[in-house]
Amino acid sequence: MMSQTSLESKLEALQCHFTWDLDPSRSKLFRLRYLLEDIGTEEGNSWLGHIYNLRGYVQYKLGFTQDAQSLFNKAAEAFCQTRRADSDEGPWLVVNYGNLAWLHHHLGEQAESQAYLSKVDALMNKYPSPSQDELHPEIYAEKAWTLMKFSADQKQLAADYFQRAIRMQPDMVEWKTSHVIGLVNASKHSDTGLEADVLEKMRIAKEEDPENLYLAAQYLQECAKKGERVEDEARELATKILKNPVSSYSGVKALLRVYRNYVSVDEAIDLAEEALKNHPDVRFLKRCAALCYKWKIIFFRESRPKPNMIDRAISLYKEVIILYSQAFLVKKIDLANIYAKSNHSQAKAEQIYQEVLKSDLDPADKQLVYNQYAKYLNFDRQDRQRSIKYHMKAAEIPIQSFYRENSVKVLGKIKGRSRNRMCREIEQFLENLQEP
């Protein structure tokens, strides 16, 4: 039997979810759990093993150890199916066995933990990395895919890991596709947008992976941004997506964004409702439909929304809040904003905001709520002074995020216009603001 110290040092040296510094907040874990569940588990998804592995880790972090073990076991089965290798075992199981070694260790089952450590050693000896100084490409690919699901600042590192994996094992089409999708997602948070060579990589990935309709939808979005007309292609893609199994990887949400920006928001609503009619019990599609109504009511206000549209939006959002009950924050704010746009429900909007403001939130969620409440106070209540106070509250939480940047930008604009009696206070506030 290995000593406790040497067991722990071997565990620390493993490449798996327990050693990758993944330490999200509890609210982020719930959001991640829902996101992973919505991907679905249809056969043929080449990321199924990775999905179960990450779901297992999330359940472990939330305290559901039995669920975690069951999901880790499902990950091993999924890898056997998706890799279709002659052997049941291969380098793709290194991360999975590492997770199981850690889980058994935390459960106090040291013999089982050691057994999985031995399995990892055996796999590493049988399938060494093609490059002596680097991890095995299967490990890089799983690490990259996992980091893509966490935060914006991890996406660049994920892209780097994908590149390393692809360089060593260039025949894995799904790695190339996910690498390109990762680059596109990372560009959403950059000031420069998508680089020209990434669009070319997207085009090549689309040719190599023609069945990936999520990639096809994202490619259409980028082409449209460059000024191309994409309406006909978007409608053609919608027909294909509606025939496929429902999943957040199916491309439907990405295509709805294309419809919103480059076709018509009303057609986006029709498409979401058609998908929901075909699969009335799928919560992900309810979320997509709710999102389309939000776009119409909040962002496309060229005409006052009809009462039945507001009612449908409210009904969908209430359902979605229940279906995603432990990650409802953004949905509740959306619901409040929809109430704010309907003449008879201002009090309801304020009531929801007050409930959310009083709830137990982690700092990142507080920042989001303060920023959104500040906008609501400004645009729906015309309460400029309180709006400024809440933008300040959002900005002074030292976490780098879209919401903080947005609040700082708004405060800067108000100061620049010099028409508000709080301008001096804003100026001092911005001068003293700590960088996160």
Domain boundary pick from 78, 106, 128: 128
Q: How far apart are the first and last CA of the chain?
A: 47
369 and 350 fall within a common domain: no
Q: Is residue 146 part of a domain?
A: no
Q: Is residue 193 part of a domain?
A: no
Q: Is residue 42 part of a domain?
A: yes
Q: How many CA atoms lie within 13 A of 64 on its CB side?
A: 14
346 and 429 fall within a common domain: no
Q: Which of 109, 74, 112, 107 is nearest to 93 (CA)?
A: 74
Q: What is the CATH number of the domain that holds 27?
A: 1.25.40.10
8 and 122 fall within a common domain: yes
d(CA 366, CA 95): 35
Token pair for 275: 């998908």
Residues 6+ apart with CB under 8 A from 59: 33, 65, 67, 68, 71
Q: Is residue 73 part of a domain?
A: yes
CB 146 within 8 A of CB 138: no
The list of the chain residues with pLDDT below 50 reads none
Look at phi and psi of residue 247 and say left if phi exceeds 0, alpha if psi is from -120 to 50, else beta.
beta
Determine the distance from the C-alpha atom of residue 265 to the mean position of all C-alpha atoms in its chain, rounded to a whole number.
23
CB 286 within 8 A of CB 323: yes
339 and 435 fall within a common domain: no
Q: Is residue 100 part of a domain?
A: yes
d(CA 181, CA 168): 20
Reported as a single tens digit per residue, the pLDDT across 71-112 is 999 999 999 888 865 567 899 999 999 999 999 999 999 999
Q: Is residue 104 part of a domain?
A: yes
Model pLDDT, residue 190: 65
395 and 297 fall within a common domain: no
Domain boundary pick from 358, 386, 403: 358
375 and 396 fall within a common domain: yes
35 and 121 fall within a common domain: yes
Residues 6+ apart with CB under 8 A from 259: 234, 238, 265, 267, 268, 271
Model pLDDT, residue 422: 87
Q: Is residue 240 part of a domain?
A: no
CB 49 within 8 A of CB 75: yes
What are the CA-CA distances from residue 75 to residues 17, 137, 180 (Å)? 13, 18, 24
d(CA 335, CA 271): 21
d(CA 275, CA 281): 11
Token pair for 374: 């500040």
Residues 6+ apart with CB under 8 A from 245: 40, 42
- Residue 389, domain extent: 361-436
Model pLDDT, residue 193: 65
d(CA 11, CA 375): 48
Residue 316 carries which side chain, given as an amino acid letter? Answer: L
Q: Is residue 191 part of a domain?
A: no
328 and 310 fall within a common domain: yes
Domain boundary pick from 104, 128, 152: 128
Model pLDDT, residue 23: 84
Give the three-state DSSP class for 319.
helix
Query: How many structural domains compose the chain?
Result: 3
d(CA 69, CA 101): 11
347 and 369 fall within a common domain: no
d(CA 36, CA 150): 12
d(CA 232, CA 381): 41
Model pLDDT, residue 80: 87
The pTM assigned to this predicted structure is 0.93
Q: Is the dihedral of CA 32, 35, 40, 45 positive or negative?
A: negative
Q: Is the dihedral of CA 175, 176, 179, 184 positive or negative?
A: negative
28 and 107 fall within a common domain: yes
8 and 124 fall within a common domain: yes
303 and 398 fall within a common domain: no
